[in-house]
Amino acid sequence: MANQEKPVPGMGSIPMGDKGTTFRVWAPHAEQVFVTGNFCDWKEELYPLTHEGKGYWVTSIKEANEGDAYKYVIKNGDLKLLKNDPYAMKMQHSNGNSIIYHHHPQWEVNNFQIAPFNQMVIYELHIGTFNKGEDKEVGDFFNAASKLDHLQSLGINALEIMPVMEFKGNKSWGYNPACPFAIETDYGGPEGLVHFVNEAHKKGIAVIMDVIFNHFGPGEMDLWQFDGWQENEKGGIYFYNNHLSTTPWGENRPDYGRPEVRNFLRDNALMWLENYCCDGLRFDATAYIRYLEEGDLKERREIQEGYQFLQQLNKELREKHPHKILIAEDLKHESRVTAPIEHNGLGFHTQWGTGFEQSIKQVLTEINDAHRNLQEVVDSLLQTFNNDAFQRVIFTESHDSVANGETRLPEEIAPGDAEGEFAKKKSTLGAILLFTSPGIPMIFQGQEFLSHKYFSDDQFIDWTRVERVKGITQLYKDLIHLRKNEHQSCIGLSGNDTRIIHFNQDNLVIAYQRIHFEHPDNPTTIILNFSHREYIGYRIGISQNTGLNVRFNSGWKGYDKSFSEVELVEVHPEDNAYDNQPHSILVGLPSYGGIILSS
């Protein structure tokens, strides 16, 4: 692993109280650097910076105070560039000016700790579309915070926030960061994020921030050719200037070989965890940090500097913040992403597992029962990384899978009839599978009330649906509370082991048990019916001879009037050996539904 250069302290604009503000910037090819702003009527050469060595420039200005706008004036030969501060924590907007900002939040909850990974339920949301405010084109942190009571009632204990760093315009998914340290102005800026984190923590909900270290921009990006230097007409000091620059989003891959760029990204990661008290990070598209090309594994060329950067960063973050979570969106199904760094892994705690989503959606969206392949379900249930079930984040909807020509699961199941019986039954069958499968379950905003319109950054989710399909929302709530074992009735769902106990492709019924190693004699049994038929007296073999309680039945008409409330014939074990088990039970199974049992 390459040596990590010691970070330079005090980058950007640092308010010093009555002593004014200190400015420090990295511009190794500059011949002169000045800072200008409204504190000097934008006179460009009144305040020069002194070269400290290694390309760093610094000055202190008594007249510059918190709230003042500023920019750097960089001279390189015949070039004179006005640039925003790469470390600016506040902006007027993405193509406006940097703002001197003194970050001094008042945290109302001290020593907040994220839930154990085996009890975590994540809710992914987009601040700009989560909840519309009055007379605003986009939502903000304050609008979003007003809906936290709903999420708390649902049982959510972690939020994964799509990127909120300053981006071009006022509507975006957020994956086009223009100013990586600044908080999107239209979302409420840094003050808005502090408010949101405070409110979430008061309700026992962790905040995981989505960060983008695989590319910058591409729009309105002052990092581009920052100090005037470049090679091959590429991005200059913050970017690779050779073939390694190419990403799906332009010639804008950060240069992980430069210690100053690694420190820039490191400082950004620490800002979210320390300045804003976020409880973890979700790293966007980490495969583009460590690989040059897409395609099959044999065709990829590894960027060793990117791999080492991730190892170095995760090692430091784990040491400084051992109780926070690091999630990779890697999507390459490689165990080394979540393997220990000392074994040459990347050291992430967990990674997005798209294989689960693809397989389960294929099973649920199949129209003809005869073509429904339950082996896809079994394979998804048994997949792990490094024999740890919770090294995988699982979902049936995410921002990627419900946009760009795709839509929400109920609409995929029954196009044009997303509120019909089949869409409700099959999509909630997917929910049962999600919350009872090994892994960290995640749902996307509005999934709990069957949102069926595709995701777009200019389309708000419809909160009137909460009341319209309140039974479905209750179903999600019941599943989430069981998943977290809140009533001490389903300890198996927080266990690492999964055992398939019944597989019948002809009947389209599968049964499996989730087992916690500390409670091996008290598994949670899940029985799912993937067919349109209802079953009365369906026999399942089990190992235990104790009585079982029905903890959940998706056929309950309280969830929806169209559901089939099948009688549960008998859940007491009989001494009839079945499925290679010493005992068996007889159960009723609703069509496209399931039940959850435990002692």
Residues 459, 499 within the same domain: no
Q: Considering its fold, how many domains does the chain have in total? A: 3
User: Can you state the angle between helices 374-382 and 354-365, rounded to 10 degrees?
Assistant: 160
- Residue ranges of alpha helices (H) inside 138-241 are 141-145, 148-154, 189-202
- What is the token pair recorded at 253? 């891959």
Residues 477, 503 within the same domain: no
Residues 196, 288 within the same domain: yes
Residue-range definition of the domain harbouring residue 340: 117-216+260-483
Give me the residue label for tokens 């990127």: 163
Residues 187, 302 within the same domain: yes
Q: pTM of this prediction?
A: 0.96
Q: Would 107 be classed as within a structural domain?
A: no
Residues 465, 338 within the same domain: yes
Residues 292, 161 within the same domain: yes
Q: Would 354 be classed as within a structural domain?
A: yes
> What CATH number did the domain enclosing 568 receive?
2.60.40.1180
> What CATH number did the domain enclosing 168 receive?
3.20.20.80
Residues 90, 121 within the same domain: no
Residue pair 288/310 in contact (Cβ under 8 Å)? The answer is no
Residue pair 126/174 in contact (Cβ under 8 Å)? The answer is yes
Domain stop point among 439, 465, 483: 483
> What CATH number did the domain enclosing 86 receive?
2.60.40.10
Contact residues for 53 (Cβ-Cβ < 8 A; gap 6+): none
Domain stop point among 483, 502, 520: 483
Residue pair 595/563 in contact (Cβ under 8 Å)? The answer is no
Q: Would 222 be classed as within a structural domain?
A: no
- What is the token pair recorded at 569? 């014939």
Residues 521, 458 within the same domain: no
Q: Would 228 be classed as within a structural domain?
A: no
d(CA 541, CA 586): 9
- What is the token pair recorded at 102? 């003194």
Is the peptide bond preceding residue 218 cis, with omega within 30 degrees of 0? yes
Q: Would 335 be classed as within a structural domain?
A: yes
Residues 363, 421 within the same domain: yes
- What is the token pair recorded at 476? 């999600």
d(CA 588, CA 571): 9
Q: Would 240 be classed as within a structural domain?
A: no
- For every one of its 599 residues, what pLDDT tens digit does the chain have, with 9 covering 90 and above? 445 566 667 899 999 999 999 999 999 999 999 999 999 999 999 999 999 999 999 999 999 999 999 999 999 999 999 999 999 999 998 889 999 999 999 999 999 999 999 999 999 999 999 999 877 889 999 999 999 999 999 999 999 999 999 999 999 999 999 999 999 999 999 999 999 999 999 999 999 999 999 999 998 899 999 999 999 999 999 999 999 999 999 999 999 999 999 999 999 999 999 999 999 999 999 999 999 975 455 567 899 999 999 999 999 999 999 999 999 999 999 999 999 999 999 999 999 977 899 999 999 999 999 999 999 999 999 999 999 999 999 999 999 999 988 899 999 999 999 999 999 999 999 999 999 999 999 999 999 999 999 999 999 999 999 999 999 999 999 999 999 999 889 999 999 999 999 999 999 999 999 999 999 999 999 999 999 999 999 999 999 888 899 999 999 999 999 898 887 877 888 888 899 999 999 999 999 999 999 99
Domain stop point among 99, 127, 157: 99
3-state secondary structure of 293: coil
Residues 474, 511 within the same domain: no
Residues 130, 267 within the same domain: yes
Q: Rounded to 5 degrees, what angle do the CA atoms 82, 88, 91 make? A: 80
Residues 84, 168 within the same domain: no
Contact residues for 342 (Cβ-Cβ < 8 A; gap 6+): none
Q: Would 575 be classed as within a structural domain?
A: yes
d(CA 274, CA 276): 6
Q: Would 225 be classed as within a structural domain?
A: no
